A and B are shown apart, each in its own frame.
Chain A
Amino acid sequence: MKVPTTGECLLKKIRYLLAALVFASTAGLVACSKSDNNANVASGGTANSASPGAKLTGSIRVDGSSTVTPLIALAAEDFQAKNSGVTVTVGTSGTGGGFEKFCNGEIDIAMASRPIKEKEVDACKSKNIEPLELIVANDGLSVVINPQNDWVKCLTVKQLKAIWEPGSTVNNWNQVDPSFPDQPLKLFGPGSDSGTFDYFTKEINGEEGATRTDYNPTEDDNVTVSGVAGDKGALGYFGLSYLLENQGKVKGIAIDSGNGCIAPSTETVQSGQYKPLGRPLFIYLKPESAHRPEVKAFAEFYFDNQDAITKEARFVPLTKEQLAKADEELAKIKSQ
């Protein structure tokens, strides 16, 4: 008789392992479909059965604008630290992508850097979702230049339009204003998936999405930062937080919309003076979800702490009126 060598033993083991893998994968496939059904029941069931005052449980799904993400992510972090039974996921699909998921019923809260569009409201309604709008913070869209640029302090809306409108042939600073030096103009900005892009093009060029196309578009505002920081004749735009985080690398300029030059700041944005680029940021709640105690608690948590959260994320806090309105809207949910 032949005594098996270690090698043969190993081979045998590996064959058993392979057989086990085949089994495991089939079992896994079955389990996959099963656990998914359970999950659907669970997310509806446990949430509704939680009584007030009891430990909150459940999961909250948020998705949408990358501009709003830092705010909600901060809130989610602190909220989960206080409520260990609740899981909050904050996705970043962009404002449009967020609304698509929202109106598909896939998420509880959509984040947006512009108001919901008519088209999107209709898509939601067809699925019986009536979006509840809440303003979570204010932002000042900032136009930035290179720190070495010492000739521009302020641009008028008209000049910005001349630079950014579709078909614009402005390629040199001396075309913007004859008193400016002969310096090639390099443009940086967000790509078309961004709510910031939608807002800027609408306010400056008069039509959402209308822009010259020969600029450097990016979905990552840090690319705009390094682009502007690296070229003396560069110009770009993004949310206020990127300007505040990159002081010294880029320089913000004031905007003149007819009432003199106004620079973006907490005060000018809150007072509405920073026109037309001051903007509110939104979240949209799904009514069905808003009735769930953990979702309601999360929304309340945000507005109770909005001052600290907006400041930490370098946004502009809500005005008293905005906050009062949000509280009122939230109170309505409670009473239902």
Chain B
Amino acid sequence: MTEGPLSDRLEPQVASLTGTTSRRRRFLDGLFRFATIASVGVALLTLGALLVDIFLQGRPRLNPDLLSNMPSSRPERAGIQSAIFGTLWCVGLTAVVSLPIGVATAIYLEQFARRDRWYVRLVELNIQNLAGVPSVVFGILGLAFIARGPLSWGFTVGTGAMVLTILVLPTVVIASREAIRAVPSSFVDGALALGATRWQAVWRQVLPAAIPGIATGSILSVSRAMGESAPLLLLGALTFVTFNPTGLDSGYTVLPLLIFKYASDAKQELHVVAAAAIIVLLVLLLTLNTTAIMLRNHFEKRRH
């Protein structure tokens, strides 16, 4: 029979089907490959250029003093300590409140809820929609109902964290649902067949298998809260504070907004501090995301 690879042998048939010659197809194939690589290159180059630019700008102020000093209008003394703590408070509280509620919601929707009930469908529809709502809308909601209005918590770190919680909750729910849905239904069926209750099946079979996905998705959505500035702008975070939060009712600022403040200051030297603070924020974000990836790898390795 004929020699050579399969693709060569099929060439005449393919050519007759698509009406193109072999050379032309190879050329298109190469062109497509080049286009995809170029796309990746453009994205990476832009990111790289931004990072290099920010790093060069911020390097003079990238020292321990930056982390330990409080914000100041005097460039030589200006630091970001209260903003780091403010950010950690907000993100920490957001994680502590949103993860249990989000995961519990996902478990209910995936394992207990009956799809044919109108209220279940309503909840699902709302969660999907809420995930797409611009974050500033949550800020307005928080301003009207949490900072003022019925709850009246004021412009405090508690308010900020609560609004961020509402903001990330839909994404946490969706990520957790995906993770739970990925667990084969045979796990539950098997457990139920052996006499386990629904709760036992979920708690001992589904959750352990779903944890890598839940952890990754949740950490990624919580790390979104860390870079969030629009809703907090409305909730009193654009503030000059020279102390760390001491409780939920404390005044606060967060890194993205302190960066905004430094960058819009009249003093050029403070723009350098802003650049240095951007690097710190990036490092914090990368740390969170790396944790997410490591957690996933850790659990996946164990499973196989």
Q: Which of A87-95, A114-122, A208-216, A326-334 contacts B (4 or more CB under 8 A)?
A: A87-95
Mark contacts of A76-112 with chain B using CB atoms, 8 A cut-off: 1 yes-contact digit, 0 otherwise. 1100100000011111110000000000101000000
In the complex, A31→B207 CA distance in Å? 29
Q: Which residues of A contact B267 (CB under 8 A)?
A: 245
Q: Which residues of B contact A15 (CB under 8 A)?
A: 203, 207-208
In the complex, A238→B239 CA distance in Å? 22
Measured CB to CB, the nearest residue on chain B to A38 is B249
Residue B100 CB within 8 A of the other chain: yes
Residue A70 CB within 8 A of the other chain: yes
Residue B248 CB within 8 A of the other chain: yes
In the complex, A87→B148 CA distance in Å? 22
Q: Given A24-B96, A39-B249, A70-B266, answer yes or no on A87-B243 (Cβ-Cβ < 8 Å).
A: yes
Pair A87/B251 contact, Cβ less than 8 Å: yes
Pair B203/A35 contact, Cβ less than 8 Å: no
Residue A321 CB within 8 A of the other chain: no
Pair B238/A77 contact, Cβ less than 8 Å: no
Pair A91/B239 contact, Cβ less than 8 Å: yes
Q: Given A90-B240, A104-B148, answer yes or no on A221-B266 (Cβ-Cβ < 8 Å).
A: yes
In the complex, A90→B247 CA distance in Å? 18
Measured CB to CB, the nearest residue on chain B to A26 is B100
Known interface pairs A70-B266, A91-B236; 13 further A-B residue pairs with C-beta atoms within 8 A, sorted by A's residue number:
A15-B208, A25-B99, A25-B101, A31-B248, A35-B247, A36-B153, A39-B156, A39-B249, A87-B242, A87-B251, A220-B263, A222-B264, A222-B265
Q: Given A36-B248, A73-B73, answer yes or no on A245-B268 (Cβ-Cβ < 8 Å).
A: yes
Partner of B264, one of A22, A88, A90, A221: A221
Mark contacts of B36-76 with chain A using CB atoms, 8 A cut-off: 1 yes-contact digit, 0 otherwise. 00000000000000000000000000000000000011100
Q: Which residues of A contact B155 (CB under 8 A)?
A: 61, 91, 106
B262 to chain A, nearest CB (A): 11
Interface size counted on chain A using CB atoms at 8 A: 51
Residue A1 CB within 8 A of the other chain: no
Q: List the 7 shortest-distance A-B pairs measured between CB atoms, nearest first.
A: A39-B249, A90-B240, A89-B251, A220-B264, A22-B100, A91-B239, A245-B266
Residue B281 CB within 8 A of the other chain: no
Residue B294 CB within 8 A of the other chain: no
Q: Which residues of B contact A35 (CB under 8 A)?
A: 158, 247-249
Q: Which residues of A contact B100 (CB under 8 A)?
A: 18, 21-22, 24-25
Pair B242/A80 contact, Cβ less than 8 Å: yes
In the complex, A106→B99 CA distance in Å? 32
Measured CB to CB, the nearest residue on chain B to A241 is B266
Count of CB-CB pairs between chains A and B under 8 Å: 121
Residue A173 CB within 8 A of the other chain: no
Mark out the residues of chain A between 284 and 336 whose CB falls within 8 Å of any chain B CB in the assembled complex: 312-314
In the complex, A113→B271 CA distance in Å? 24
Residue B261 CB within 8 A of the other chain: yes
Using CB atoms and an 8 Å cutoff, list the residues of chain A in contact with chain B: 7, 10-11, 14-15, 18, 21-22, 24-25, 28-29, 31-33, 35-36, 38-39, 59, 61, 63, 66, 69-70, 73-74, 76-77, 80, 87-93, 104, 106, 219-222, 239, 241-242, 245-246, 312-314
Partner of B242, one of A11, A59, A76, A245: A76
Mark out the residues of chain B between 221 and 249 whose CB falls within 8 Å of any chain A CB in the assembled complex: 236, 238-243, 247-249
Q: Which residues of B contact A93 (CB under 8 A)?
A: 238
Residue B211 CB within 8 A of the other chain: yes
In the complex, A36→B146 CA distance in Å? 11
Q: Which residues of B contact A80 (CB under 8 A)?
A: 242-243
Measured CB to CB, the nearest residue on chain B to A27 is B96
Pair B302/A7 contact, Cβ less than 8 Å: yes
A-B contact list, 29 entries, CB within 8 Å: A7-B302, A11-B208, A14-B208, A14-B211, A18-B100, A18-B103, A18-B207, A21-B99, A21-B100, A24-B100, A25-B96, A32-B153, A35-B248, A35-B249, A61-B251, A66-B264, A70-B266, A73-B240, A77-B242, A80-B243, A87-B241, A87-B243, A89-B240, A90-B240, A90-B241, A92-B239, A106-B155, A219-B264, A220-B264
